[in-house]
Chain A
Amino acid sequence: MDANLHLDAPGRNGTAHVRHLTRRFGPADARPVLDALDLDIQPGEFVALLGASGSGKTTLLRTLAGLDPVPEDAVVALPRPVAVAFQQPLLLPWKSVWRNVALGLPEDARGDARARAEAALAEVGLSHRLDAWPATLSGGEAQRVALARALVREPGLLLLDEPFAALDALTRLRMHALVLDLWARHRPATLLVTHDVDEAVALADRVLVLAGGRIVLDLPNDAARPRRRDTASFAAMRDRLLDRLGVREHAA
Chain B
Amino acid sequence: MSPLLLVLAWQAASTLGLLSPRTLASPLQILLTGWGLLASGELPWHLAVSLGRVAAGLLIGLSVGAGLALIAGLSRLGEDVVDAPVQMLRTLPFLALVPLFILWFGIGETPKIALVALGTAFPIYLNLFAGIRGVEPKLAEMGRVFGLDRRGLLRHVVLPGALPSALVGLRYSLGVAWLSLVVAEQVNASAGIGYLINDARDFLRTDVIMVGLVLYALLGLLADGLVRVLECRLLAWRPAFVRS
Pair B145/A67 contact, Cβ less than 8 Å: yes
Please tell me the number of chain B residues within 8 Å of chain A, measured between CB atoms: 20
Which residues of chain A are near B145, meaning CB under 8 Å?
Answer: 65-67, 82-84
Q: Is the CB of B138 closer than 8 A to any CB of chain A?
A: yes
Pair A86/B237 contact, Cβ less than 8 Å: no
Q: Is the CB of A225 closer than 8 A to any CB of chain B?
A: no
Q: Is the CB of A119 closer than 8 A to any CB of chain B?
A: no
Q: By DSSP majority rule, is chain B's interface helix, strand, loop, or mixed? A: helix
Q: How far is the CB of B128 from chain A (nearest CB, A)?
A: 16
Q: Is the CB of A136 closer than 8 A to any CB of chain B?
A: yes
Given contacts A103-B156, A153-B146, contact A90 B239 (CB under 8 A): no
Inter-chain CB contacts under 8 Å: number? 52
Q: How far is the CA of A136 from the CA of B236 in the complex (A)?
A: 12
Q: How far is the CA of A109 from the CA of B144 in the complex (A)?
A: 17
Q: Is the CB of A235 closer than 8 A to any CB of chain B?
A: no
Partner of B146, one of A93, A94, A103, A136: A103
Pair B238/A93 contact, Cβ less than 8 Å: yes
Pair B156/A92 contact, Cβ less than 8 Å: yes
Name which of A81, A86, A135, A136 has the most chain B CB atoms within 10 A of its CB: A135
Write the A70-101 contact mask toward B (1 if CB under 8 angstroms, else 0).
Answer: 00000000000111101010101111100000
Q: Give residues of chain B (121-147) contacting chain A, Cβ–Cβ below 8 Å.
A: 138-139, 141-147
Q: How far is the CA of A149 from the CA of B143 in the complex (A)?
A: 11
Q: How far is the CB of A138 from chain B (nearest CB, A)?
A: 13
Q: How far is the CB of A79 from chain B (nearest CB, A)?
A: 15
Interface with A: B65-73, B157-165, B190-198, which one?
B157-165
Q: Is the CB of A106 closer than 8 A to any CB of chain B?
A: yes
Pair B160/A94 contact, Cβ less than 8 Å: yes
Q: Is the CB of B1 closer than 8 A to any CB of chain A?
A: no
Which residues of chain A are near B236, meaning CB under 8 Å?
Answer: 133
Given contacts A103-B156, A134-B237, A135-B238, contact A90 B142 (CB under 8 A): yes
Q: How far is the CB of A120 from chain B (nearest CB, A)?
A: 13
Q: How far is the CA of A63 from the CA of B91 in the complex (A)?
A: 45
Q: How far is the CA of A135 from the CA of B143 in the complex (A)?
A: 19
Q: How far is the CA of A218 from the CA of B148 in the complex (A)?
A: 35
